[in-house]
Structure 1
């Protein structure tokens, strides 16, 4: 399986934010492409997760003033002192970075590609975030909000791509059964703890990286767990872990 984790060497010193808008290239293979640059204030919940040497490894989302949500696969193998979180910046200059006090990966996380389970983690910051127009949390849905993440509905995905850009693209939610059948040909398991989504245009650099956010109705519904070219992107279904998140919040 092609990993969603993008090599540090792939990333340039500066990245550009892109958001849902009228496309500059309205037609590509007969389908519409969503690409336009915006300020970080359009995605104030997005964070960079970096290694100590400054290289970007994956994406996170601000849960509250002390915690960042991401995937366990993003931070697997790292200790808190190995990583920093950068918030409120659309470049690698003048950013605000925070050290970590703790990494809380789900206790039942299974990291094996093709059988990944419970792929979610909370990063506890060493100091409180200071909110402003470029640094804001994003709410998560309750598991009983059945209207969220419905098959056939649209959502917006945000994360760094292979072209060193932070992108926001519109995706369509796939049914779990459809996604399960699709990945079965690769021997990959997909259960109800995941959301699958596809883009209108298939490009290798459109998938984002580990921890990329999937947002619907201004709520964080998914965190990118993995993707394989030609198959749906697979996100951890955040609502399924709301109780776990609440139990560990402020721990």
Structure 2
């Protein structure tokens, strides 16, 4: 995962969105995180290899009392941002909410910095994953309003698209095939500040080589988050795989 840093009001900086590293030069995120921003916000850097935002490096002590530490995080400047050309921001439902960040240099992979796979197989590109369980992860702001220092993850069920359309029709948001809905359990949800983060699936079709892939990107949901019966809405990455590949340069 990547934290996206913004320059705000001159010298002020802060993290307000997330993304996912998909190769050594690009981060996949939501278009709302890089396009249509307040006039005084500029995406400036991404942070990779982070876990606990209050410490550097991140360390744990095992049962033998031995301290084990991860590598320090790295900050990489942004070369350019590429929001989807048909992105339309709406409070009720952003459209084509997907974008790319090109980093200023290639990133070296480590035990703590790795890319996530794209859903390149036809079966993954076309699937709505109804009936599957997936994972969300991030440092977002939960309903009580205090940003987390430690990255957390949770398992969420994918909600059938027709059911999600029915639920969000109450908010006059027309959910379509370019989206996935997941969650709807009280207190388990992506939340405010999680935009751009991943909805993660597991491809276990090859029993000798399981791998994680990014199925969705956090886009929007109910407010407050974590309400029973209200899944969050994610941009379906498979729908946009061709767009991603067309907009990536060597």
Same fold by TM-score, threshold 0.5 exceeded?
yes
Q: Which of residues 122, 135, 140 in structure 1 aligns to 2:113?
A: 135
After superposition, the Cα gap between the structure-2 partners of 1:143 and 1:107, relative to the gap in structure 1 and judged at 3 Å, is: farther
Higher strand share: 2
CA RMSD after TM alignment: 2.2
**8 Å Cα contact 1:143-1:240 kept in structure 2:** no
Q: Does 1:203 align with 2:164?
A: no
Q: Find the counterpart in structure 1 of residue 170 from structure 2.
A: 185
Q: Find the counterpart in structure 1 of residue 59 from structure 2.
A: none
- For residues 1-251 of structure 1, what are the structure 2 equivalents within 5 Å? 46-52=1-7, 53-78=12-37, 82-92=43-53, 93=56, 94-142=72-120, 144-146=122-124, 149-162=128-141, 163-164=147-148, 165-198=150-183, 200=185, 202-203=186-187, 207=191, 209-217=194-202, 218-228=212-222, 229=225, 230=227, 231-250=230-249
Deviations 1:62-115 (A, max 9, x none): 010000000001222459964210001223444310111110000000111223
Paired residues, what number? 205
Q: What secondary structure sits across from 2:243 in the alignment?
A: helix
Normalising by structure 2, we get a TM-score of 0.75
After superposition, the Cα gap between the structure-2 partners of 1:225 and 1:188, relative to the gap in structure 1 and judged at 3 Å, is: same
**Deviates most, 101-110 or 160-169:** 160-169
**8 Å Cα contact 2:34-2:43 kept in structure 1:** no
Unaligned runs of 5+ in 1: 1-45
How far has the Cα of 1:205 moved from its partner?
Answer: 7.1
Normalising by structure 1, we get a TM-score of 0.75
Alignment partners' CA distance in 1, 2:162 and 2:78 = 38
**Deviates most, 206-215 or 171-180:** 206-215
After superposition, the Cα gap between the structure-2 partners of 1:118 and 1:205, relative to the gap in structure 1 and judged at 3 Å, is: closer
Larger radius of gyration: 2
Unaligned runs of 5+ in 2: 57-71, 142-146, 203-211
How far has the Cα of 1:232 moved from its partner?
Answer: 0.8
